[in-house]
Structure 1
Amino acid sequence: MRWRHGFVCALAVPGLAVAACGERATIATHDGTQMPYSLAQPADGVAVRGAVVLLAGGDGHLKLDAQGCPKALNGNFLVRTAGLFRDAGYATALVDVPSDHQGTDGLAGFRAAEAHGADLGKLVAELRRRVKGPVWVIGTSRGTISASNVASRATGDAAPDGVVLSSALMQGTSGGQKTWTQQTVFDLPLTAIKVPALVIGHVHDQCLRSPPAEMPRLLAQLGSARKQMVSVEGGAAPSGQVSLAACEGRSPHGYVGQEAATVETIVRFMQAN
């Protein structure tokens, strides 16, 4: 690993860790609904440092099976790298959609709703009872709307100890048929986020929704006393033009080829708390 001008570069990327999916559990959420999640612990012999709530992008519908394995969004950065966080000592909670958002659009506009932030806060509080150590929330792509939601609104035991916004959703669609596609992290009360916050993105991210040039504006709006912006470079070469097609996980948007280096950077920030 070497650092240069605020960028993180990796000389080599080790293979991703392979681990069991974990325990499928549910918590009671808004209006009598249930929200499934898959909790996996670090391997025996690995010191537990805390827990991370992993919020995937897209529609957020992981379709967790009875063994806690995601049947959808397997290409998402956080789904692919959950084992690397466990290798670093963090229990991982992969979060699925609540029972009333399992349709075609998944979470859709609910990501920015106060009830969604409250639901995620309940999960944070639950993890405090189940795992020793701090609980961080990490969102990637459209999942950063969810992460910003809980980090800006939750209080007490429901508030995360820190938040990571990866390939943040900073540019919405205006005039679309589905109004929720206009949502971005800037729709949340970002100045209310007081916990440590990391904004991380890839310099060659060509996803129309997460322009790297907007990262400084996002960092500036966060109310955190300890906050940092990190730009990742290297890995797979950018492909084509800036577009929605570039928002898929196995691309610079999802740090393909730089997974281990990116997780290492996130873990370093969390442990510096």
Structure 2
Amino acid sequence: MFWICGTRCIGTDFAHARSAPTVIDIATRPGVTQRFLYIAPDSPKAAVILYAGGHGGLQLDLYGTFDWGQGNFLVRTRQIFGSNGLAVAVIDAPSDRQSAPFLIGFRLSAEHAADGKAVIAWMREHAEVPVWLVGTSRGTQSVAAIAIALANGGGLTSTILRDDRRGSPVTSMNLSTLKIPVLVVHHRDDACRYCPVSETSGLMEKLTGSSYDGLMIVSGGNAKGDPCEAFSYHGFNGVEGEVVHAIAEWIAAH
């Protein structure tokens, strides 16, 4: 892992097409700001907003350093998304959720959707390309909830299909209302008890209104440690580049 340094910007006067990672703060709700790390290649073909799993509190500082979540699949592959021609926003918890439990119990809220809407608007203005939401593990709860609220296309990796914590499995959400493209990516050997690959077919069956949905089952790589953590099959350890490239190709085709 390496640390990124960038320039902090506030508001929407940031000149687009800069390739250096940059920390952005934008106003979302009264008295609340949303911070994210922005990476943009020259002439991006699309933009992705990345929602990490776990509690989601990356605690991104002004210099682009993450205090938590450096190993998360979407956080550690942010530059790979950029090298595949995508503008990238790596989302932290908003300013009013910067302590425990961070995004736990918040991902399905109207406030979270409002924060997401503001980031989408910023990305559309500055990248000037279609914007996609991408979540992994508990980040799939954020993406599904925001997509339902705002009707933006999205991708779900290692989707939460069961939940006994403070949240809801993605399959319990009103997925049939989604009219936009949805891609589901899952590792064949994901052993996390919340994400059984055997239940992905049930997830796909609920996407009845999607203009295009796809299921991508990944194999290969290697697993280390807790099966629900980032360096197991759950986090696509060892096949990150292939997975991100496949996601980028799917986005480009839709």
On whether the aligned pair clears a TM of 0.5, the verdict is yes
Q: Relative contact order (C-alpha < 8 Å, sep 6+): which is higher?
A: 1
One-letter code aligned to 1:122: A
In 1, Cα distance between the equivalents of 2:159 and 2:202?
A: 11
> Contact between 1:19 and 1:83, CA under 8 Å: does it hold in 2?
no
Deviations 1:164-204 (A, max 9, x none): 0000011111xxxxx51x42213422112111110110011
> Contact between 1:56 and 1:142, CA under 8 Å: does it hold in 2?
yes
**Structure 2 CA distance for partners of 1:26 and 1:18, relative to 1, 3 Å:** closer
How many residues get paired? Answer: 239
> Contact between 1:206 and 1:252, CA under 8 Å: does it hold in 2?
yes
Q: Map 1:51-90; keep pairs closer than 5 Å.
A: 51-90=47-86
Unmatched segments (≥5 aa) in structure 2: 7-20
What is the DSSP-based 3-state SS (H/G/I as helix, E as strand, rest coil) of the residue aligned with 1:165? strand
One-letter code aligned to 2:58: L
Unmatched segments (≥5 aa) in structure 1: 1-15, 174-178, 240-244
Q: Which moved more, 1:68-77 or 1:197-206?
A: 68-77
In 1, Cα distance between the equivalents of 2:109 and 2:3?
A: 34
**Which of 148, 152, 166 does residue 157 from structure 2 map onto?**
166
What is the DSSP-based 3-state SS (H/G/I as helix, E as strand, rest coil) of the residue aligned with 1:111? coil
In 2, Cα distance between the equivalents of 1:247 and 1:237?
A: 10
In 2, Cα distance between the equivalents of 1:258 and 1:128?
A: 30
What is the DSSP-based 3-state SS (H/G/I as helix, E as strand, rest coil) of the residue aligned with 1:119? helix
Matching residue of 1:256: 237
Q: What is the TM-score with the length of structure 1 in the denominator? A: 0.82
> Deviation at 1:238?
7.5
> Contact between 1:206 and 1:238, CA under 8 Å: does it hold in 2?
no
Matching residue of 1:185: 170
What is the DSSP-based 3-state SS (H/G/I as helix, E as strand, rest coil) of the residue aligned with 1:145? helix
One-letter code aligned to 1:133: V
The alignment-based identity, stated in percent, is 36
> Contact between 2:223 and 2:231, CA under 8 Å: does it hold in 1?
no
Matching residue of 1:35: 34
> Deviation at 1:31?
4.2
In 2, Cα distance between the equivalents of 1:24 and 1:77?
A: 20
Q: Which moved more, 1:249-258 or 1:26-35?
A: 26-35
> Deviation at 1:214?
1.1
What is the DSSP-based 3-state SS (H/G/I as helix, E as strand, rest coil) of the residue aligned with 1:108? coil
Q: CA RMSD in A?
A: 2.0
**Which of 74, 89, 102 does residue 93 from structure 1 map onto?**
89
**Which of 120, 138, 142 does residue 142 from structure 1 map onto?**
138
Matching residue of 2:212: 226
One-letter code aligned to 2:245: E
> Contact between 1:51 and 1:134, CA under 8 Å: does it hold in 2?
yes
> Contact between 1:49 and 1:89, CA under 8 Å: does it hold in 2?
yes
**Which of 99, 109, 116 does residue 113 from structure 1 map onto?**
109
In 1, Cα distance between the equivalents of 2:177 and 2:31?
A: 28
What is the DSSP-based 3-state SS (H/G/I as helix, E as strand, rest coil) of the residue aligned with 1:164? strand
**Structure 2 CA distance for partners of 1:119 and 1:188, relative to 1, 3 Å:** farther
> Contact between 1:153 and 1:192, CA under 8 Å: does it hold in 2?
no
What is the DSSP-based 3-state SS (H/G/I as helix, E as strand, rest coil) of the residue aligned with 2:154? strand
One-letter code aligned to 2:199: E
In 2, Cα distance between the equivalents of 1:62 and 1:96?
A: 5
What is the DSSP-based 3-state SS (H/G/I as helix, E as strand, rest coil) of the residue aligned with 2:132? strand
> Contact between 1:38 and 1:69, CA under 8 Å: does it hold in 2?
no
In 2, Cα distance between the equivalents of 1:238 and 1:106?
A: 26
